[in-house]
């Protein structure tokens, strides 16, 4: 033993040296639950070495975050020098910073925090920290509208999870996949994600409820071991449980006389064109009955006639007053998809769905687009009257909910007043070097083409040619008038897919017979086609509120009040032409 002792000492020393240079020692330890208060930890940090002080501050930041004190957490993290921490602690601190950024509504800042080089060693950390960091990344990607990347992150995280967190993650994957446009539902190198994407695509391709149910079952048979086949996401489970009642008979209720006869014809022709296209593709055996709302004496007479004819669904009326009367009823004898909206706040019967080209939808679109583009302070200029007031209020509410500030607002008066109105909104000062307020990021505009043509030149005259302008579709005449478009140079606006894509097959078919479908009237043709799209899917939208239909008047969803809401693509006027803008991330 005496002779072996030196050898044992040498081995022990070698073992210590190996441990000191092992991956675990270079990785560092994660903060533990401290026994001291946040203030005590911060006090200790003041009297400690720089490395120890950084660790104490990290523990204090985590404790403060757990207690819900986000401001204090941010203050502590700003004092933290990540370079003084080891990789595990850097990952912990960066994850905490990302959580804080998400709580503050800043997903891009969160994603930046999660780019720290230390994350290359995330797989070496304890399982709970791996899960925490990965799920924060998934949440940040989703908040930043990177839905496919968020789904991929959750698919990769799934094997780490169990229990309720696994179930929540499973449902979140489907929520993300089902929100993707079809062009993103392509094969992926990850077979599990590929299966999810194929499921999303097969559900989107199917038209009617019965077709969707068959498509889901067919996918399950082809992918029996996929996580979604072993446990179908809850929305798809609901879809399978819905009783398939094929829609075979519709009444289209529109006026043939009066001030709405022209818009009604465009709606009717768009609806029937979509029906003929479906028939040509052998996708329907639907019977359509045409009713004239200008010749029906009462609501009761309407539904009595529909019952005699065997109608299952009424689409219409278009007249707002008639929609108000329907909304006043406690119940309706048949499901009805009105082509206009009742008054805001009016509680409608459960059988009444409402769909229209609501300007309020576009005002909300402007708010979301401007916010996504990084703007935070707005001024608003809208058409004078009830319509303009409603649009301005919808923008104000949505903008403030996002966290934006509406600095000032006005209604467009007579042309001779416009220069003075814009000068007041911009607080323009006179003198040798006129100046305007600098605390405004953009102008929200809801105006006619003629009004909008005056706004942009006036902004140039008022030393505000660099002020971005975001507008509703109402300024776009679709006239292909280059002179008019030049007066609107640089203005961004929301518009229907129908008017932004002249290559749409249905639009091309309709324009051959009705050339005016390529003008601003095209929005009504698109709405008619989308009423046809919605008709067999109303029960699906009720059962699956997150369902989004890609229509020709916009991307369509159903809100809790059973009103169809539209999201629209974006374009801008550039050199006398219309330039399609990329979707926001």
Q: What is the pLDDT of residues 43-86, one digit of tens each?
A: 888 888 999 988 999 999 999 898 889 999 989 999 888 999 99
Instruction: Supply the pLDDT for residue 25.
Output: 62
| Beta-ladder partners of 338 | 354
Report the candidate in 209, 218, 202, 219 with the shortest Cα–Cα distance to residue 240.
Answer: 209
Instruction: Supply the pLDDT for residue 12.
Output: 36
Residue 8 has pLDDT above 70, yes or no: no
Mean pLDDT estimate for the chain: 89
CATH class for the region spanning 249-354+517-544: alpha beta
Residue 460 has pLDDT above 70, yes or no: yes
Instruction: Supply the pLDDT for residue 433.
Output: 66
> pLDDT for 387-434, tens place per residue?
999 999 999 999 999 999 999 999 987 878 888 888 888 887 776 667
Instruction: Supply the pLDDT for residue 21.
Output: 35
Residue 444 has pLDDT above 50, yes or no: yes
225 in helix, strand or coil? Answer: coil
Instruction: Supply the pLDDT for residue 245.
Output: 67
Range(s) within the chain of domains with CATH label 3.40.50.2300: 249-354+517-544, 359-495+569-580
∠ CA 31-35-36, nearest 5°, is 100
| Beta-ladder partners of 382 | 411, 446
Q: Is 575 exposed, middle or buried (0-12, 13-18, 19+ CB in 10 A)?
A: exposed
Residues 6 or more apart in contact with residue 453 via CB below 8 angstroms? 484, 487, 488
Residue 519 has pLDDT above 60, yes or no: yes
Mean pLDDT of 130-145: 94
Q: Are strands 377-383 and 287-292 parallel, antiparallel or unpaired?
A: unpaired
Residue 22 has pLDDT above 50, yes or no: no
Mean pLDDT of 228-256: 88
Fold of 359-495+569-580: Rossmann fold (3.40.50)
Instruction: Supply the pLDDT for residue 545.
Output: 74
Residue 580 has pLDDT above 50, yes or no: yes
> pLDDT for 246-301, tens place per residue?
789 999 999 999 999 999 999 999 999 999 999 888 777 789 999 999 988 889 99
The residue ranking higher by pLDDT, 97 or 30, is 97
Report the candidate in 125, 197, 138, 198 with the shortest Cα–Cα distance to residue 168.
Answer: 138
Residue 565 has pLDDT above 70, yes or no: yes
Q: Which helix (H) or strand (E) holds 19?
A: helix 5-20
> pLDDT for 172-212, tens place per residue?
999 999 888 878 888 888 999 999 999 999 888 776 677 88
Band of pLDDT at residue 34, cut at 50, 70 and 90: confident
Instruction: Supply the pLDDT for residue 322.
Output: 94
Mean pLDDT of 307-320: 95
Strand locations in 259-338, DSSP E? Answer: 287-292, 313-315, 336-338
Residue whose structure tokens are 């706004």: 455
Instruction: Supply the pLDDT for residue 421.
Output: 87
In the chain, the percentage of residues whose pLDDT exceeds 90 is: 64
Band of pLDDT at residue 117, cut at 50, 70 and 90: very high
Please report how the helices 147-157 and 163-178 are oriented relative to each other, as an axis angle in degrees rounded to 10: 150
Cα separation, 261 vs 337, in Å, equals 19
Instruction: Supply the pLDDT for residue 207.
Output: 65
Instruction: Supply the pLDDT for residue 431.
Output: 62
In what order do the strands lie in the sheet containing 352-354?
Answer: 287-292, 249-254, 313-315, 336-338, 352-354
**Cis peptide preceding 474, ω within 30 of 0:** no
Residue 36 has pLDDT above 50, yes or no: yes
Mean pLDDT of 459-463: 84
Instruction: Supply the pLDDT for residue 23.
Output: 43
Among 96-100, 156-160, 233-237, 435-439, name the one with the lowest average pLDDT: 435-439
Mean pLDDT of 435-457: 90
Instruction: Supply the pLDDT for residue 575.
Output: 94
In the chain, the percentage of residues whose pLDDT exceeds 70 is: 94
Band of pLDDT at residue 16, cut at 50, 70 and 90: very low
Band of pLDDT at residue 243, cut at 50, 70 and 90: low
492 in helix, strand or coil? Answer: strand
Instruction: Supply the pLDDT for residue 198.
Output: 94
Band of pLDDT at residue 24, cut at 50, 70 and 90: low
Mean pLDDT of 361-388: 93
Instruction: Supply the pLDDT for residue 19.
Output: 33
The residue ranking higher by pLDDT, 434 or 322, is 322
Instruction: Supply the pLDDT for residue 432.
Output: 63
The residue ranking higher by pLDDT, 213 or 528, is 528
Instruction: Supply the pLDDT for residue 428.
Output: 78
């Amino acid at each position: 033993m005496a002779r072996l002792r030196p050898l044992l000492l040498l081995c022990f020393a070698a073992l210590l040296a190996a441990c000191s240079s092992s991956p675990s020692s270079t990785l560092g330890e994660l903060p533990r639950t401290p026994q001291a208060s946040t203030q005590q930890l911060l006090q200790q940090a003041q009297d400690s070495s720089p490395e120890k002080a950084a660790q104490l501050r990290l523990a204090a930041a985590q404790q403060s975050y757990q207690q819900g004190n986000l401001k204090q957490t941010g203050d502590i993290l700003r004092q933290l020098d990540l370079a003084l921490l080891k990789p595990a602690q850097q990952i912990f601190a960066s994850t905490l910073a990302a959580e804080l950024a998400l709580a503050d509504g800043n997903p891009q800042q969160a994603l930046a925090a999660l780019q720290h080089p230390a994350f290359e060693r995330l797989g070496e950390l304890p399982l709970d920290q791996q899960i925490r960091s990965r799920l924060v990344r998934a949440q940040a990607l989703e908040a930043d509208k990177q839905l496919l990347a968020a789904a991929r992150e959750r698919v990769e995280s799934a094997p780490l999870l169990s229990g309720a967190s696994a179930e929540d993650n499973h449902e979140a994957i489907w929520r993300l996949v089902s929100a993707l446009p079809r062009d993103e539902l392509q094969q992926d190198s990850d077979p599990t994600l590929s299966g999810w994407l194929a499921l999303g695509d097969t559900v989107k391709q199917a038209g009617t409820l019965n077709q969707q149910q068959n498509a889901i079952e067919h996918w399950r048979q082809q992918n029996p071991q996929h996580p979604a086949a072993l446990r179908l996401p809850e929305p798809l489970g609901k879809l399978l449980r819905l009783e398939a009642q094929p829609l075979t008979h519709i009444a289209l209720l529109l006026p043939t006389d009066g001030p709405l006869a022209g818009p009604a014809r465009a709606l009717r022709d768009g609806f029937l064109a979509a029906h003929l296209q479906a028939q040509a593709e052998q996708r329907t055996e639907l019977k359509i009955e045409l009713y004239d709302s200008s010749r029906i004496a009462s609501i009761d007479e309407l539904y009595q006639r529909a019952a005699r004819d065997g109608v299952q669904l009424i689409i219409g009326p278009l007249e707002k007053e008639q929609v108000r009367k329907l909304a006043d009823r406690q119940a309706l004898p048949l499901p009805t998809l009105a082509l206009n909206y009742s008054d805001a706040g009016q509680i409608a019967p459960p059988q009444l769905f409402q769909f229209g080209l609501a300007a309020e939808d576009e005002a909300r679109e402007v708010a979301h687009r401007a916010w996504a583009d990084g703007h935070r302070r707005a001024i608003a200029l809208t058409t004078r009257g009830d319509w303009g007031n409603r649009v301005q209020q919808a923008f104000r509410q949505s903008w403030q909910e996002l966290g934006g500030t509406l600095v000032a607002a006005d209604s467009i008066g007579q042309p001779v007043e416009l220069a003075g109105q814009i000068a007041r909104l911009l607080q323009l000062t006179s003198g040798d070097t006129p100046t305007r307020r600098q605390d405004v990021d953009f102008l929200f505009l809801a105006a006619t083409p003629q009004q909008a043509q005056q706004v942009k030149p006036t902004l140039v005259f008022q030393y505000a040619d660099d002020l971005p302008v975001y507008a509703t579709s109402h300024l776009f005449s679709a006239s292909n008038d280059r002179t008019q478009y030049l007066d609107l140079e640089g203005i961004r606006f929301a518009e229907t897919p129908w008017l932004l894509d002249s290559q749409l097959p249905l639009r091309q078919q309709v324009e051959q017979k009705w050339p005016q479908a390529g003008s601003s009237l095209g929005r009504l043709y698109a709405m008619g086609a989308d009423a046809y799209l919605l008709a067999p899917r109303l029960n699906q939208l009720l059962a699956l509120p997150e369902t989004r239909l890609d229509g020709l008047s916009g991307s369509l969803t159903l809100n809790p009040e059973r009103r169809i809401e539209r999201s629209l693509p974006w374009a801008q006027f550039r050199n006398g032409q219309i330039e399609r803008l990329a979707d926001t991330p």
